Amino acid sequence: MTAVTVWNNCLSFVKDNIQLQAYKTWFEPIIPIKLQDNILSVQVPSKFFYEWLEEHYVKLLKVALTKELGKDAKLVYIIRMENKFGSDSSFTEKIPSEYKPKIKSQNLDASSNFSKVNLTNPFIIPGIKNLKIDSQLNLNYNFENFLEGDSNRLARSASYAVSKRPGGTSFNPLLIFGGVGLGKTHLANAIGINVKQAFPEKTVLYISAEKFTQQYVDSVKKNNRNDFIHFYQLIDVLIIDDVQFFSGKSGTQDVFFHIFNHLHQNGKQVVLTSDKAPVDMQEIEQRLLSRFKWGLSAELQTPDYETRISIIKNKLARDGVEMEDDIIYYVAKHIKTNIRELEGAIISLMAQSSFNKKQITIDLAKVIVEKFVKNTKKEISIDQIQKVVSDYFQMDVNTLQSKTRKRHIVQARQLAMFFSKKFTKASLASIGTKIGHRDHATVLHACKTVDNLAFTDKQFRKYVDDLDKRFTD
Ligand code: ADP
Ligand code: MG
């Protein structure tokens, strides 16, 4: 009897008793190392792994091992230690794996010991439930209720193709990009839903870039960065929503880079969404951007009038509400750039009419649409602000951003910073970066200066008022 034969026998027993996916995830990576007397030593990839086995499979292992080695069987885990995080970004293959001697041995005979082991999973991802990873998908966001139009045809069909052959098309990664409320999250979920239907054995995970970042930061705090990486490397279809959130976060980008490479090399599918095309992404490392471009970047554009009408009609049909065509056309005509707002307006209309027991009239539609359209206008970008201010002072944006200290240019720049603070949610630092690479203190100073000058200088007050009008009209 050798370690290998004993372990192989155990494995076939285990395999018969648990789901295939769980078997592949948790048992295939285990390597039998040695057998001495009744003690079998096996190597597991990480501490997390060992704890997971202890928590979920210790009884099963006990039965299997007792069958092979008798009542006095013992199991020893050897944990492969990887070196500490942070020192080097290339942690995977290059690091000499140092084998630490056993950290835990369990007497398999003393069953009371097992219940005493009260292990807490150091790596709690809300997604994990009894080994089955909850995919975190929103089932309402499926292909059936994603309406096709010219604005989304490419993105939709690429997504569909990916969902039929995850990892098997050249669309890997698939990057879906486009403005707010145009259906990125919807399509990304639709891919996941279809994959799960067609390939129930595949592990699918949808996660926002923001949540991914939080988990990563937590893992660093708790000293289990490698477990974090390991977890993500087990996923077959990884969907990360809003990757622009990774901007400026180099640690997260680094860890994602490694996870991405691993998945890609192993033929796993990666789906990403972003509010901009890769060329326009800022503060994302070059090596990551170049990988984003490996597969397909598909844009979701603003829907045309016909598509907007069908989206509204589809929504009404699903909710069993009737609405006159005139009203539908009116809403579709006026809300153009954001499908979420299009739906929002329809929902408000339905709510208003049912609360107030009023007919949905065109006048009511006008009032509601106006509210939405006004709100939309406020969502102006820093780039647009710079453009408006430059136009107003008849200079180009490069001049406005330049390092010059000429007074009228400095003032224009300060006004651009002031309005960016006023009309966007951007931080002082990111406003500074966008307006000629200044720091946050410069932006703060600009805002104060504009406040003061508007108070003391009549001419300047007029600039502020004129510009304000241009932004709010
Ligand atoms: P994004 O992630 O791009 O900001 P979402 O995917 O959240 O946008 O979409 C906003 C809303 O619009 C969602 O309720 C979604 O279901 C809906 N939506 C977007 N595109 C379509 C479409 N082509 N057909 C039907 N509904 C859509
Ligand atoms: Mg979204």
pLDDT digits (tens, 9 = 90+) for 58-68: 888 988 998 99
What residue spans in the chain does CATH classification 1.10.1750.10 cover? 382-472
Residue by residue, pLDDT tens for the chain (473 residues) are 899 999 999 999 999 888 887 888 889 889 998 998 888 888 887 766 777 787 788 888 988 998 999 888 888 888 765 433 333 322 222 222 222 233 333 333 333 222 222 223 333 343 333 345 788 999 999 999 999 999 999 999 999 999 999 999 999 999 999 999 999 999 999 999 999 999 998 999 999 999 999 999 999 998 888 889 988 998 999 999 999 999 999 999 999 999 999 999 999 999 999 999 998 888 899 999 999 989 999 999 999 999 999 999 998 888 888 889 999 999 999 999 899 999 999 988 888 877 776 778 898 899 889 888 766 555 689 999 999 999 999 999 999 999 999 999 999 999 999 999 998 888 899 999 999 999 999 999 999 999 999 999 999 999 999 999 988 76
Helix (H) / strand (E) element for 283: namely: none
pLDDT in tens, 231-266: 899 899 999 999 999 999 999 999 999 999 999 999
Per-position DSSP letters for 379-434, written without gaps between them: ---HHHHHHHHHHHTT--HHHHHSS---HHHHHHHHHHHHHHHHHS---HHHHHHH
Q: Which of 236, 304, 244, 314 is nearest to 272 (CA)?
A: 244
Look at residue 314 in the predicted model and tell me its pLDDT: 93
Distances in whole angstroms, Cα of residue 285 to Cα of each of 86, 263, 278, 279, 288: 17, 19, 11, 12, 5
CB neighbours of 54 closer than 8 A, spacing ≥ 6?
104, 106, 117, 119
Torsion, Cα of 404, 410, 412, 417 (10° steps): 110
What residue spans in the chain does CATH classification 1.10.8.60 cover? 305-375
Q: Ligand 1 atom closest to Cα of 186? A: 6
**Could you say which DSSP state residue 284 is in?**
-
Q: Ligand 1 atom closest to Cα of 178? A: 3
For residue 178, give the ligand nearest its CA: 1
Distances in whole angstroms, Cα of residue 450 to Cα of each of 123, 392, 414, 462: 49, 16, 7, 12
pLDDT in tens, 67-121: 999 888 888 888 765 433 333 322 222 222 222 233 333 333 333 222 222 223 3
Look at residue 102 in the predicted model and tell me its pLDDT: 33
pTM of the predicted model, to two decimals?
A: 0.59
DSSP reduced 3-state for 119? coil
Q: Which of 154, 337, 340, 342 to mutate to test the pocket of ligand 1 (most atoms within 8 A of CB)?
A: 340
Look at residue 245 in the predicted model and tell me its pLDDT: 94
Which CATH architecture fits 153-300? Answer: 3-Layer(aba) Sandwich (3.40)
Helix (H) / strand (E) element for 53: namely: helix 47-69
CATH class of 3-94: alpha beta
Strand order in the sheet with 269-274: 204-208, 237-241, 269-274, 174-178, 296-300
Look at residue 103 in the predicted model and tell me its pLDDT: 36
Ligand 1: residues within 6 Å at CB?
A: 141, 145-147, 152, 178, 180-186, 311, 339-340, 343
Q: Which of 140, 182, 314 to mutate to test the pocket of ligand 1 (most atoms within 8 A of CB)?
A: 182
Look at residue 301 in the predicted model and tell me its pLDDT: 94
Domain 305-375 sits in CATH 1.10.357.10: no
Look at residue 412 in the predicted model and tell me its pLDDT: 96
> Contact 301/178 with Cβ under 8 angstroms?
yes
Look at residue 214 in the predicted model and tell me its pLDDT: 92
Give me the CATH topology for the region 382-472.
Chromosomal Replication Initiator Protein Dnaa; Chain: A; (1.10.1750)
> Contact 135/257 with Cβ under 8 angstroms?
no
Question: What is the whole-number distance in angstroms between the Cα of residue 395 and the centre of ligand 2?
Answer: 36
DSSP reduced 3-state for 1? coil
Q: Which residues pair with 133 in a beta bridge?
A: 128
Residue nearest to atom 18 of ligand 1 (CA): 183
Angle between helices 382-392 and 458-472 (to 10 degrees): 130
Residues in the chain: 473
What residue spans in the chain does CATH classification 3.30.300.180 cover? 3-94
> Contact 70/44 with Cβ under 8 angstroms?
no
Three-state secondary structure string covering 333-354: HHCCCCHHHHHHHHHHHHHHHH
Look at residue 92 in the predicted model and tell me its pLDDT: 25
What residue spans in the chain does CATH classification 3.40.50.300 cover? 153-300
Distances in whole angstroms, Cα of residue 246 to Cα of each of 119, 241, 277: 33, 11, 14
Looking up tokens 């994603």 gives 146
Look at residue 174 in the predicted model and tell me its pLDDT: 97
pLDDT in tens, 398-417: 999 999 999 999 999 999 99
